[in-house]
Amino acid sequence: MTEIIDGESVAADVRDAVADEVSRLSDAGVGPGLATVLMSDDAASETYVSMKQRDCEEVGIESFHVEIDAGAPASELYETIDDLNGRDDVHGILVQLPLPDHVDKRTVLRRIAPEKDVDGFHPENVGRLVAGDARFKPCTPHGVQKLLDAYDVETEGADAVVVGRSDIVGKPMANLLIQKSPTGNATTTVCHSRTEDLEAKLAGADIVVAAAGIPEFVDGSTLKSGATVIDVGINRVDADTEKGYELVGDVDYESAKDVAGAITPVPGGVGPMTRAMLLYNTVKAAGLQRD
Ligand code: GUN
């Protein structure tokens, strides 16, 4: 029987632990605070940011939100970040991506104080992760790591394939999987749009992390029987529903669910974990800034 990996349930456990830590910090006079910054008209980005604010409220983290007109000059975003960097009540800063074309993402991410960079995207934090000395692990790969751990998926000695090489998911995911740690030690292959014979790579994979951003890209027929399949994709595709779309992953769930040993659904798999790990990083940031 294929095990359905329940991200909602594991995320609820993470949120409970975070809420306890928020109480402890608040009793000590440090109420953790997260600032979200949205510079986009994208409906999905707006939804993600409002969900993050709601999550904060649920665990007792103070949330602050800044919206910047998508057509405003980049300097307005820089000034906002400088202001948030200097505030004692803001321990974490998240600038929602993607940004408008006229704003250089790298410049923006470097501007966030590394100790408030709860996304883990600042080069200092990327470097620390690669060096095995992570301050903030990026939320999605960290959430995947937690899911694998919660379901006792053995990574040591496993052959893992990460499909996708993004800075947000693919690269940090591969780094976590290869690290010398109880949740690492996997032999990891990173596949991408220029990979030749993806099928051959997938055929040998005990663990597949699909993060290509392409709807239903990985078909069940290409998977090794019994593989653990983690679907990071959240793609809106046109559908005859009330909203006019439905969410599908990067894995074709119907064909994969009977081949895999364990699989994450979309929605309800990785998505809730990403959100929970942001709360975790925010509380960690507050603790570090107190010390
Ligand atoms: N856009 C999509 N995923 C993310 C994320 O993890 N962090 C930020 N800041 N923006 C995103």
Model pLDDT, residue 159: 98
- Alpha-carbon span 138 to 120, nearest angstrom: 5
Tell me what pLDDT residue 267 has.
Answer: 97
Ligand 1 contact, 108 CB (< 6 A): no
Percent of the chain with pLDDT over 70: 100
Q: What is the distance in A from the centroid of ligand 1 to the CA of 277?
A: 12
The catalytic residue positions are 52, 96, 119
Confidence (pLDDT) at 291? 74
What domains lie within the chain, and their CATH numbers? Answer: 29-113 (3.40.50.10860), 139-271 (3.40.50.720)
ipTM greater than cut 0.85: yes
**Percentage of residues in the chain having pLDDT higher than 90:** 99
Q: How confident is the prediction for the chain on average, in pLDDT?
A: 98
Rounded to whole angstroms, the Cα distance separating 207 from 62 reads 37
With beta carbons less than 8 A apart as the criterion, state whether 261 and 2 touch: yes
Averaged over 165-169, what is the pLDDT? 98
What is the whole-number distance in angstroms between the Cα of residue 50 and the centre of ligand 1?
Answer: 13
Do residues 1 and 260 lie in contact, with contact meaning Cβ atoms separated by under 8 Å? no
Top mutation candidate among 144, 168, 270 for ligand 1, by most atoms within 8 Å of CB: 168
pLDDT at 258: 94
Query: What pLDDT is stored for residue 150 in this prediction?
Result: 98
Residue pair 118/278 in contact (Cβ under 8 Å)? The answer is yes
pLDDT digits (tens, 9 = 90+) for 195-254: 999 999 999 999 999 999 999 999 999 999 999 999 999 999 999 999 999 999 999 999
pLDDT at 194 over 90: yes
pLDDT of residue 165 exceeding 90: yes
With a 6 Å cutoff on the Cβ, whether 97 touches ligand 1 is: yes
pLDDT grade, residue 1 (50/70/90)?
confident
pLDDT, tens digit (0-9, with 9 covering 90-100), for 98-121: 999 999 999 999 999 999 999 999
> Strand 235-238 relative to strand 245-248: parallel, antiparallel, unpaired?
antiparallel
Taking phi over 0 as left and psi of -120 to 50 as alpha, with beta for the rest, 157 belongs to left
Mean pLDDT computed over 128-144: 98
